[in-house]
Amino acid sequence: MKSKSARKPVAWLMVSLCLVSLLPPRAGAWGREGHRVIARIAVNHLTAKTKAAIGELLRADPDDREMCSQQTSLDEKMACVSTWADVVKRDLQFACTASLHFVNIPIYAPPPQRRYDARRDCANGDCVVGAIDHYRLILTDTTKRASERALALKFIVHFIGDLHQPLHTAKDHDLDARNTENHNRFRDSGDRGGNLKLVTWLGEPANQFGCWNLHAVWDDGIIDQIHADETALANALDGALDPQKIAGLQRGTLVDWVNEAFGLAIGNAYHLPNHQGNDKVCEVPGGDKRDCDKYSPQTCRISEVHYRYHLGKDYFSQNLPAVKAQLTGAGVRLAKFLNDIFDPVR
Q: Is 86 helix (H, G, I), strand (E, B) or coil?
A: helix
Residues 197-216 that bind Zn ion (CB under 5 A): none
Under the binding rule (CB under 5 A), the answer on residue 162 touching Zn ion is yes
Long-range contacts of 89-97 (CB under 8 A, 24+ apart): 95/18, 95/21, 96/14, 96/17, 96/18, 96/21, 97/17, 97/21, 97/131, 97/155
∠ CA 258-28-132, nearest 5°, is 40
In total, the chain counts a number of residues equal to: 346
CB 167, min distance to Zn ion, A:
11
Distance CA 149, CA 143 (A): 10
- SS3 sequence of 115-171: CCCHHHHCHHHCCHHHHHHHHHHHHHCCCCCHHHHHHHHHHHHHHHHHCCCHHHCEE
CB 290, min distance to Zn ion, A:
23
Under the binding rule (CB under 5 A), the answer on residue 157 touching Zn ion is no
Nearer to Zn ion, 86 or 191 (CB): 86
CB 239, min distance to Zn ion, A:
26
Q: Which stretch binds Zn ion (CB under 5 A): 13-21, 85-93, 107-115, 190-198?
A: 85-93
Under the binding rule (CB under 5 A), the answer on residue 101 touching Zn ion is yes
CB 219, min distance to Zn ion, A:
9
Asked if 215 and 101 count as a contact pair (C-beta separation under 8 A), the reply is: no
CB 332, min distance to Zn ion, A:
19
Nearer to Zn ion, 29 or 217 (CB): 29
Residues 42-71 that bind Zn ion (CB under 5 A): none
Distance CA 325, CA 212 (A): 23
Q: Which stretch binds Zn ion (CB under 5 A): 41-49, 79-87, 126-134, 232-240?
A: 79-87
CB 165, min distance to Zn ion, A:
8
CB 18, min distance to Zn ion, A:
18
Under the binding rule (CB under 5 A), the answer on residue 238 touching Zn ion is no
**Alpha carbons within 13 A on the beta-carbon side of 76:** 8
Q: Which stretch binds Zn ion (CB under 5 A): 162-170, 197-205, 227-235, 297-305?
A: 162-170
Nearer to Zn ion, 42 or 281 (CB): 42
Q: What is the largest CA-CA distance in the chain?
A: 65
What is the separation of C-alpha 288 from the centre of its chain, rounded to a whole number of angstroms? Answer: 27
Nearer to Zn ion, 169 or 200 (CB): 169
Nearer to Zn ion, 27 or 228 (CB): 27
Q: Which of 17, 29, 80, 335 binds Zn ion (CB under 5 A)?
A: 29
Nearer to Zn ion, 162 or 238 (CB): 162
Q: Bridge-partner residues for 309, per DSSP? A: 199
Under the binding rule (CB under 5 A), the answer on residue 128 touching Zn ion is no
∠ CA 70-75-81, nearest 5°, is 60
The residue nearest Zn ion at its CB is 29
Q: Which of 25, 184, 202 lies closest to 97, judged by CA?
A: 25
| Helix and strand element counts for the chain (H, E) | 14, 7
Q: Which stretch binds Zn ion (CB under 5 A): 10-18, 23-31, 258-266, 304-312?
A: 23-31
Nearer to Zn ion, 139 or 157 (CB): 157
Nearer to Zn ion, 29 or 206 (CB): 29
Count the site residues for Zn ion by CB under 5 A. 4
Distance CA 120, CA 334 (A): 26
Q: Which stretch binds Zn ion (CB under 5 A): 46-54, 97-105, 138-146, 202-210?
A: 97-105
Q: Which of 93, 36, 40 lies closest to 66, judged by CA?
A: 36
Nearer to Zn ion, 199 or 330 (CB): 330
Q: Using CB under 5 A as the criterion, which residues of the chain lie in contact with Zn ion when the complex forms?
A: 29, 86, 101, 162
